[in-house]
Chain A
Amino acid sequence: QSVLTQPPSASGTPGQRVAISCSGSNSNIGSNFVYWYQQLPGTAPKLLIYTNNQRPSGVPDRFSGSKSGTSASLAISGLQSEDEADYYCAVWDDSLNGRIFGGGTKLTVL
């Protein structure tokens, strides 16, 4: 069981907006930057959002990140079939003195 809690699954129809949550504590999300990763089937993960809400070049602006207190959220607007993937949040944890991932959320585009 991960220190960061994500819903195991999420779904939406094309064009819809979906949000994936990542819940932590004061020692991780509450005091450090949150990062999000997309893992398409059979591939290595890809950085999607850094320092809570910034997109690397090449990531569509349909993807956005936010953080409030000890929780963070990844939102995907204008959902597309190619967004079907696993999504992970990650953060440094001051108590564990290490980096941690959420358990991952499998996004299905219906």
Chain B
Amino acid sequence: EVQLVESGGGLVQPGGSLRLSCAASGFTFNNYELNWIRQAPGKGLEWLSYISSSGGTTYYADSVKGRFTISRDNAKNSLYLQMNSLGAADTAVYYCVRDSSGHLFQDWGQGTLVTVSS
């Protein structure tokens, strides 16, 4: 069974930084592309970032480009999101999401809540 478990969320002050992690299991991690997607309270889904199976290719939404960095450690079956210069608009549940062949955003974690507030 595919499992994606996010961690690292919490309360952070405006201008601060946070690093999210996603522990994966139930599949061959280094064969799959991954994404971070977020959902602000009561709002819709927002794709943030993509990373290829090797980690060699990354894409970012304009809203986070230059502030967020996606990375992965295939030896540890883990995905990361380093978030800097956080603002209130970054308050959201952050999901770790796996692509599969022909199946964009096939598997989702349960999400981790990030709250940016003073």
Contacts and interface: CB of A to CB of B under 8 A. Distances in A.
Interface of A: 2, 33, 35, 37, 39, 44-47, 50-51, 54, 56, 86, 88, 90, 96-104
Contact of A35 (B50, B104, B109): B104
Interface of B: 35, 44-47, 50, 59-62, 95, 102-106, 108-111
B35 A99 contact: yes
B47 A100 contact: yes
Contacts of A54: 102
12 contacts: A35-B105, A44-B110, A44-B111, A45-B105, A47-B105, A56-B106, A88-B45, A90-B45, A99-B35, A101-B44, A102-B44, A104-B45
Contacts of B108: 44-46
Contacts of A102: 44
Given A37-B105, A47-B104, A90-B104, 19 more contacts: A35-B104, A44-B111, A45-B45, A50-B102, A50-B104, A51-B102, A54-B102, A86-B44, A88-B44, A90-B47, A90-B105, A97-B59, A98-B47, A98-B59, A98-B62, A99-B50, A99-B104, A101-B46, A104-B44
